[in-house]
Structure 1
Amino acid sequence: MNKQQLANKIWESANRMRSKIEANEYKDYILGFIFYKYLSDKEEQWLESEGYTAEDIRNDVNEDKKEELSYIQSNMGYFISYKDLFSTWIGMKTDFTVDNVSTALSSFTRLMSPTHADVFKDIFKTLETGLGKLGDNTQSQTKAVRDLIHLINEIPMDGRQDYDVLGFIYEYLIEKFAANAGKKAGEFYTPHEVSLLMSEIIASHLQNNQQGIKIYDPTSGSGSLLINIGHAIEKYTGSHDKIRYYAQELKANTYNLTRMNLVMRGIKPANIVTRNADTLEEDWPQDADGTGQPLYVDAVVSNPPYSQRWDSKNKELDPRYARFGLAPKAKADYAFLLHDLYHLKPNGMMTIVLPHGVLFRGGEEGKIRRNLIEENHIDAIIGLPANIFYGTGIPTIIMVLRQQRENDEVLIVDASKGFIKEGKNNRLRASDIRRIVDAVIGRLDIAKFSRRVTRQEIRDNDYNLNIPRYVDSSEEAENWDTYALMFGGIPETELASLNKFWQVFPTLKADILDSDGQYANLKVKDIKTAIRQNGDVQNFLQKYEGSLADFKDIMRSALIENATQLSIAKTQEEENRALLARYENIPLIDKYEAYEIFHEGFVDLSGDLEIIQAEGWEAVRQVDANMVIKKVRGREQEVQDGWKGHILPFELVQQEMLPEELASIESKKQRLADIPSLQNDIFEELSEDDKETISDALTDDNDAFVLKNIPAMLKSLAGDEEQKELVQKLKKVDALTKEEKQLKAAIKEEELRLHEETKQVIEALTDEEMKDLLQVKWINPIYDSLLSLPANMIDYLQKCLSAMHEKYADTYEAIDSEIADVEADISSLLADITGDEADMAGVQELQKLLRGES
């Protein structure tokens, strides 16, 4: 299974196993065990590379062998003896107990190298102290731990990929636990998409810095912000070894997450500098030489706790705040911001997540905001959608600041409308992130989305940066044309909103609308067909298809021919840019919609690429046992149910390489599906007398055949000349029942044969056949989705025109005429009514009302 499937499996199992333990607590246990497995496996892999055999490891890797102990410590920074290795725990089976874990974690702390103390000291403390919460006694704790270690034993830890399986699963579990942790989630997790957005902005700024880069997060949480910046920068620099990571976190268990996450991403311990302390109370980071001087970094990224209280006493002279002012005691938002800004190099950049209030609140915050604007540090403000963070629904922003800027405008982006809803939360899509990043990097003015605002305009607004003051992203209010309401027709002023279509399709408007220059009427019934048949539209569709003519070949060359060597992250970014450039000159099609299609397709195929890069091309020919959970003798067990492709789905291979066999099965299934309907048709032909005659072959309600009773009924009616026609009908029903049984058997036999043939076909694929099938799986779905984009554009145009037509279809004149006709009809009916004097007086009065007489 690929990394996404494995991550899903581990999450679902872990979530079940945690039982009543809070998600926020349980995450520390499973993530701690994953980290221990990582260190254990890494030590074993290193020992094997040094020539140690399995027997050597078993006999010599223990703390009594001082030479081995010192040698391993000096190379790994820690030491795990053979008896404490994760693989040893797995091999112990029923002899394993929770005490083995307690002993191993205690030994790890005692035997780590002093040179790596900053990275490893107390890193397992949360796990150690939490073991007792996994059960009421040693037996239940042992079972809980055994289940947990066997679950995570499936995670590969070779770290060969740019964004390896381990890192993906670790981040995935953190996100899933955050989603289930309620308000506590905000303490340790920034949603992946927000982290990517901040990272891309920073990485673009630093892309030309090929020297050593220093990045810092003063409220690091799980460390995901730093890691994503590292990955984003790596796309430009080609190496994460040039990056030095600084991280500070107040909460000890969350601080441990930071360190684990950084270490497991293959970052050298020498490039990891962390601290467990209060960022605001004591300034940090400082130079490594111990001079006590503040350290200046290339980028700072942070998601501090929102509007937290802090102790501002005696901070007036603190150089972090002296230039701009002190944040109020009740809200530390600007204290965190100024701390981050202080540690930036002159050419550095920072991104920080803050609540909306920092844009407009007065008092001390207003003064700080004014000073930041006048000193020209605020580069951009990005308004995010509500409900984007776990544990809080408040609207938030990302503020981008620099130490030195070339202009004095502030780019203000209202990105609050671009998201997809997932459960209770909103999530930024890849296209939303790209749209924002492009606007920020290019400092673009985009209607209802982004605008460069001069410092003077901000001054005129008394330094209030509230986004709606500068960017109006609200929907246009609907207007109603009085003349059109009275007499009909679509106002040309409203049709002008579709001018972009009329410009690209010059003849289309005249093809579908009659206009007197002020008002127009539809002259076609089927708008969509009329649009599609227009010559300009046809020409556009042909040119659009032509613009994608080389897409499959380019993708095949980039992704399939070079699958084992390419850098997945770098290739994705290169192809992203190429796609956006391709759509730059195609009118009416949203290039970000195309980007979203490509991104989703690439995410799907990247899992296969990782497998091919890790296991080689033979992985494509590999077929695995399909393991499923079934009840065997009343107990759930994992058993094999056929086979499945390691990379290639059986269904895809059958469609492409065994189409005749597949068609044969499908035709039989279709015939099988038709039989009940055919039998029901015969039942519907029966008369009531027929039903009475064969009642024993019908249901109690006489509304359907009881098929198993048909043969006996035929036997009882044999030779009855009067029921000859009925017998023929029953014979047809019985023949269909027999055919149904034969079809089921034939389908089962053919499916089994096809399943085995598919397995054999996959295992015998030629290199070219493998690549062809990968193209069908990876590239064709993306191409087909891109090809369908003009259909979305035509649908939009059709809906707009239909809505305009329906808006003015019922005119006042027509409604008034209809009312008059109805009144006349009623009045005519009233004229025929007869009754006593009182009744007729009432009828006459009603007739006056209908005629409009007072």
Structure 2
Amino acid sequence: MAIKKTELYSSLWASCDELRGGMDASQYKDYVLTLLFMKYVSDKYAKDPHGLIEVPEGADYNAMVALKNDKNIGEEINKIISKLAEANDLKGVIDLADFNDEDKLGKGKDMVDRLTKLVGIFQGLDLASNKADGDDLLGDAYEYLMRHFATDSGKSKGQFYTPAEVSRIVSKVVGITSDTPQDATVYDPACGSGSLLLKASDEAPRGLTIFGQEMDNATSALARMNMILHDNVTAKIWQDNTLANPYWKNDDGSLKGFDFAVANPPFSVKSWSNGININDDEFRRFEYGTPPDKNGDYAFLLHILKSLKSTGKGAVILPHGVLFRGNAEARIRTNLIKQGYIKGIIGLPANLFYGTSIPACIIVLDKAEAATRKEIFMMDASKGFMKDGNKNRLRSQDIHKVVDVFTKQLELDRFSRKVSIKEIESNDYNLNIPRYIDSSEPEDLHDLSAHLQGGIPNRDIDALQHFWQAFPSVRAALFAPDRAGYSKALVDAHAVKSTILNHAEFKAFAQTAIDLFHVWKNQANLRDLKTAADGKHDSPKEIIHRISESLLSAFAESPLLDKYDIYQIIMDYWAELMQDDVYVITQDDWQAGKQLRELLNMKSADGNAKSKETPDLIIGRTKYKAELIPPALIVARFFQAQQSAIDALQSECDASTQSLEAYIEEHAVEDGLLAEAMNDAGKVNKASVAARLKIATDKDEIAALKKVKDLIETEAEHKKTVKDAQDELDTLVFTKYPKLSVEDIKQLIVDDKWLASLQASIIAEIERITQQLANRVKTLEERYCTPMPSFIDEVASLSRKVDVHLKKMGLVW
């Protein structure tokens, strides 16, 4: 069976555990990624004489496997890698990690054992056959590793990786379309590990022609490996300082012009001007102003601008300071705005990046329409994210919303707007986003009049208008007019939620949402899902893209339900479970649904015991794991009668257990009839009762002991009956798996597993919306239910009662 994506990821991450301790993540990533590269190239190209990578005899991964437990394993691995590097012009790319470094890998047997285990982990992966047609399984695995390396590397070493979610936004807003030809060029002057370039290339139907430059030698090597792992062998990556020594130039020495540029340059570099003649730059990059000596943000922006063709487009990630800092940067910013080069600005959440926690923005450049540009599109997307450990992370819905709003130039309240150049000029060309978009939440103000005189302010009720539009009569069921500008509550605070749930309009709203789901399901999506493996026309990524987009469209006009929240439901389910299923199905066909994997007490290829898995079925003493179809789905579809019988038996068993526990609780007390039947642990059980019966003389105690003995035996009989019935059902399920037809499997996986889970999540989203309304109404009712005079009267009444009691006690003053 094909390796699931998550299993591949965990196997790769396990390799990192073998290296921790001797080095930090910024170092051991070189070892792990080099082995990943060697295994992939060996699996994909070793037997292909026409492959883009030549694998010489004795320079593949099998040669490494043959070295396991060899005392010279480190030295010999270096030779194998060097041989492959020489044959493919990859010297200085794949041979940077020294596998014979005693300081990092240990000495003698310690090194031998560590490398043997490391090689063994990759040995068990077939990376060639586990690349679903048209999908980039290994590239995704690389991204997974890079994200974790960046997380572990800390503040100073995380700059080699741009979070994939941010890369996706940059690549989608830069202007690449379905009509962009393959020979269109994309450039990144600070390309790091190359992920941003690859994301941009993926936006074009046949990819783009890739150019990159990276100053750090080890990181540029990562980028070269990354390109090959993503099947972009012809991508051109150069290692050098871009600002001081740009490599990509025309024959006349001027900077090469590119169709697109994307970049996440290092923030606020102080030494940016090293090696540059600022006053007479040969490339004339600083014609709109010279960046300050100690901050290179605008140096990269100006370099990118100069590297674009006259119709070129770019998207650059920079710190927020470039939008409002003064002096030299203000002059540059003013000139760029006047020239019309800035198309848009997207403000991102803070703490997204691994090298810094400061907030950043994406500046979108467009030379094509610069001459006629009269406005800049601004967006404050700083509020949309999720917590992921100690970092923030963009969700799928955040990415989709940002891209939709930007590409369609939609103006949304407190989120985005088109700002005229005249308005920006009136603000002295300051582009700080809060000057133009107030994204703050409205304050929840208390009404003093309501506190004094009672009643709920209509202003607060009117603020819930989006709910009342969906079900207007619910407002009338909850509130009635009171004095001018105020209403009174008709329902107690504790009954608000039930009132909403039971209202006909809410029920209609909930049913409409479910109906939308069923309409979506039946409009080709059910068919598409059930043909996921047929003919292998679509890659898993194409499948999830198509069905998620159609789900988003289906809920576009749904009242109250945010279409992006619904979109997030399917994307979360995809990441959690569905993508693994689809990867297996597209590689092994639907017949994989029949398979049960026996869980053996065995060791993995690296010699370590495999992690324990929870079995889905136990037949006799043999444990099995169901890869695609959980046994519960088989039971629900084919063996409902047997399950109902077991449920009835379990109810009888539970009743006998409750009777036993109640009897023991009543009599196993001090001086109780079962006091002497408790064991050393203070428990009454079969053994302790039997022992006490042998010596008991009191007839009441004997009767109690016999009663509890009967109850214990009755419970045991019930438990055995339940177990026998469950074992019989498990056997029926076990024998059903190989008999499943393809149609059975499709129904179980698509209808009973995937779609049922999505529907349950949508119902949960409806309930969440209901809870929002109920919580707000309850808050308002509790806030204003008792006016201030009532509190004063109550305090006075209580004071009088206290005075009366004090007088009775003789305490008078």
> Which deviations, in whole Å up to 9, do the C-alpha atoms of 1:86-123 show, x marking residues without a partner?
123324544572232122122223333xxxx3xx2321
The residue aligned with 2:394 is 428
The residue aligned with 1:568 is 540
Whole-Å Cα distance in 2 between the matches of residues 706 and 295 of structure 1? 85
Whole-Å Cα distance in 1 between the matches of residues 396 and 470 of structure 2? 28
Change (3 A) 1:523 1:590: same
Q: 5 Å matches for 1:171-320?
A: 171-202=143-174, 205-233=176-204, 237=205, 239-240=206-207, 243-267=208-232, 269-270=233-234, 272-287=235-250, 292-309=253-270, 310-311=272-273, 313-318=276-281, 319-320=283-284
1:325–1:368 contact (8 Å) kept in structure 2: yes
Q: 5 Å matches for 1:316-715?
A: 316-318=279-281, 319-405=283-369, 407-516=373-482, 517-525=484-492, 526-553=495-522, 554-563=524-533, 564-603=536-575, 604-627=577-600, 636=609, 642-663=623-644, 677-686=658-667, 691=672, 695-699=675-679, 704-715=683-694
Whole-Å Cα distance in 1 between the matches of residues 36 and 87 of structure 2? 20
Match for residue 707 of structure 2 among 712, 732, 735? 732
1:643–1:759 contact (8 Å) kept in structure 2: no
1:341–1:402 contact (8 Å) kept in structure 2: no
Whole-Å Cα distance in 1 between the matches of residues 225 and 137 of structure 2? 15
Letter in 1 for 2:171: S
Whole-Å Cα distance in 1 between the matches of residues 56 and 292 of structure 2? 49
Whole-Å Cα distance in 1 between the matches of residues 328 and 633 of structure 2? 64
The residue aligned with 1:834 is 810
Identity among equivalent pairs (%): 29
Q: Does 1:809 align with 2:811?
A: no
Whole-Å Cα distance in 1 between the matches of residues 756 and 280 of structure 2? 63
Whole-Å Cα distance in 1 between the matches of residues 33 and 257 of structure 2? 32
**What is the TM-score of this pair, normalised by structure 2?**
0.90
Change (3 A) 1:710 1:635: farther
Whole-Å Cα distance in 2 between the matches of residues 417 and 689 of structure 1? 62
Q: Quick check: 659-668 or 7-16, which moved more?
A: 659-668
Whole-Å Cα distance in 2 between the matches of residues 653 and 687 of structure 1? 44
The residue aligned with 2:119 is 149
1:387–1:393 contact (8 Å) kept in structure 2: yes
2:54–2:84 contact (8 Å) kept in structure 1: yes
> Which deviations, in whole Å up to 9, do the C-alpha atoms of 1:471-507 show, x marking residues without a partner?
1111212222222110111111221101222233232
Change (3 A) 1:741 1:126: farther
Whole-Å Cα distance in 1 between the matches of residues 155 and 445 of structure 2? 43
Letter in 2 for 1:521: K
Whole-Å Cα distance in 1 between the matches of residues 368 and 670 of structure 2? 97
* SS of residue matched to 2:187: strand
1:690–1:726 contact (8 Å) kept in structure 2: no
Unaligned runs of 5+ residues in structure 1 are: 48-71, 844-854
1:680–1:704 contact (8 Å) kept in structure 2: no
Whole-Å Cα distance in 2 between the matches of residues 687 and 107 of structure 1? 79
Unaligned runs of 5+ residues in structure 2 are: 614-621
The residue aligned with 1:87 is 62
Change (3 A) 1:676 1:128: same
Letter in 2 for 1:450: S
* SS of residue matched to 2:625: strand
Whole-Å Cα distance in 2 between the matches of residues 687 and 188 of structure 1? 67
Q: Does 1:27 align with 2:29?
A: yes
Change (3 A) 1:639 1:336: closer
Whole-Å Cα distance in 1 between the matches of residues 487 and 602 of structure 2? 65
The residue aligned with 2:733 is 758
Whole-Å Cα distance in 2 between the matches of residues 413 and 689 of structure 1? 72
Whole-Å Cα distance in 2 between the matches of residues 653 and 340 of structure 1? 58
* SS of residue matched to 2:694: helix
Whole-Å Cα distance in 2 between the matches of residues 132 and 95 of structure 1? 15
Whole-Å Cα distance in 2 between the matches of residues 170 and 748 of structure 1? 46
Change (3 A) 1:573 1:680: closer
The residue aligned with 2:758 is 782
* SS of residue matched to 1:29: helix
> Which deviations, in whole Å up to 9, do the C-alpha atoms of 1:550-596 show, x marking residues without a partner?
23333321222243322333333333332222222222111111110
How far 1:548 sits from its partner (Å)? 2.4
> Which deviations, in whole Å up to 9, do the C-alpha atoms of 1:224-265 show, x marking residues without a partner?
1112222333xxx2x33xx21111111111111101111011
Letter in 1 for 2:216: K
The residue aligned with 2:616 is none
The residue aligned with 1:64 is none
Aligned residue pairs: how many? 785
Q: Which has the higher helix share?
A: 1
* SS of residue matched to 2:125: coil
2:64–2:80 contact (8 Å) kept in structure 1: no
Change (3 A) 1:87 1:380: same
Letter in 1 for 2:563: K
2:63–2:80 contact (8 Å) kept in structure 1: no
Q: Quick check: 753-762 or 546-555, which moved more?
A: 753-762
Whole-Å Cα distance in 2 between the matches of residues 378 and 398 of structure 1? 11
The residue aligned with 1:98 is 74
2:532–2:582 contact (8 Å) kept in structure 1: no
**What is the TM-score of this pair, normalised by structure 1?**
0.86
Letter in 1 for 2:214: E
How far 1:434 sits from its partner (Å)? 1.0
Letter in 1 for 2:246: D
Whole-Å Cα distance in 1 between the matches of residues 659 and 416 of structure 2? 63
> Which deviations, in whole Å up to 9, do the C-alpha atoms of 1:210-229 show, x marking residues without a partner?
45221111111111111222
1:626–1:642 contact (8 Å) kept in structure 2: yes
1:431–1:593 contact (8 Å) kept in structure 2: yes
The residue aligned with 2:619 is none
Q: Quick check: 811-820 or 502-511, which moved more?
A: 502-511
The residue aligned with 2:136 is 164
> Which deviations, in whole Å up to 9, do the C-alpha atoms of 1:441-493 show, x marking residues without a partner?
11122111112111111111111111111111112122222221101111112
* SS of residue matched to 2:269: coil
How far 1:751 sits from its partner (Å)? 5.4
The residue aligned with 2:617 is none
How far 1:613 sits from its partner (Å)? 1.8
> Which deviations, in whole Å up to 9, do the C-alpha atoms of 1:589-643 show, x marking residues without a partner?
1111111012222333222222222222322222223256799xx9957799622
Whole-Å Cα distance in 2 between the matches of residues 183 and 375 of structure 1? 36
Change (3 A) 1:86 1:316: same
* SS of residue matched to 2:430: coil
Whole-Å Cα distance in 2 between the matches of residues 433 and 35 of structure 1? 30
